[in-house]
Structures are given as structure tokens and as C-alpha cells.
Amino acid sequence: MQVRAILRHTRTTPQKARLVANMIRGKNVNDAMNILAFLNKRVAGKFQKLLKSAIANAEENHKVLDVDDLIVKTVCVDAGVTWKRNMPRARGMATIIRKRTSHITLILDEG
């Protein structure tokens, strides 16, 4: 059975989030938690929180007894809404600052 957890409108760029997603894809849940715990990326904490949420969903909603058998089947990072801000520049001009967001979908499956 597949267990899903979604984190939307995360204030990180999809490019930076995909670096972390590629590291935990296909790994055991315990291995993925260890990788995220020692990873020196700001988004790793958000992935760790999302993985804990997916494990809790498996225990509560799907009545999975052995959490150690779960593997990270799919990690999908999509672009969210881009917030646009203006930064004043010389001679009355302005530059657009793009504050990008991400939608992260994590699917666990029994191995």
C-alpha cells in the first residue's frame, strides 16, 4: 500500500529541493532519516518533517505495523507559486526579485 504526504508552498527553490530529493529516493525510511539528519542543507529539515508525517500517516491511517519495511518510493518536487518583488535600481528603474516556492510530494511503499 502507498502512503502519501504533501508539503506545499515551501519557501525553497525547486532546484535546491531536488538535490535533497535525489539523495533519499529509493532508500529505506531509516536510511533516509539518517541522511537527512546529517545533511548540511536548509531544506533537509523540511524533508525530515515531511518524512515523519508520512510515517505517522502510515501508522495511523493505513495501520502499518512494521515501519522499518517502508521505502521512499517517489519524491516529486514541483514548482509552486513565484512571488515577485521589485528592487529599486539606478535611474528610476526596478528589477524583479523572484521568490520561488516548491510543492514536495513524498510516497512511501512497503518493500
pLDDT tens-place string over residues 11-23: 999 999 999 999 9
Average pLDDT in the chain: 96
CA separation for the pair 5, 57 (Å, rounded): 8
Give the mean pLDDT of 82-103.
98
CB environment 55-73: b (16+ within 10 A), e (fewer): bebbeeeeebeeeeebbbb
77 phi/psi in degrees, rounded to 5:
-115, 115
Band (77; pLDDT cuts 50, 70, 90): very high
- Please give the pLDDT value at position 62: 86
Which single residue is written with the C-alpha cell 493505513? Answer: 62
| Residue 95 near residue 55, CB atoms below 8 Å | no
Which single residue is written with the C-alpha cell 500517516? Answer: 57
Alpha helices in 1-111 (DSSP H): 14-24, 29-37, 44-60
Number of domains in the chain: 1
Q: Is the pLDDT of residue 111 over 90?
A: no
Q: What is the pLDDT of residues 54-71, one digit of tens each?
A: 999 999 998 888 889 999
The CATH number of the domain holding residue 73 is: 3.90.470.10
- Please give the pLDDT value at position 1: 82
**Domain that includes residue 70, residue range:** 2-110
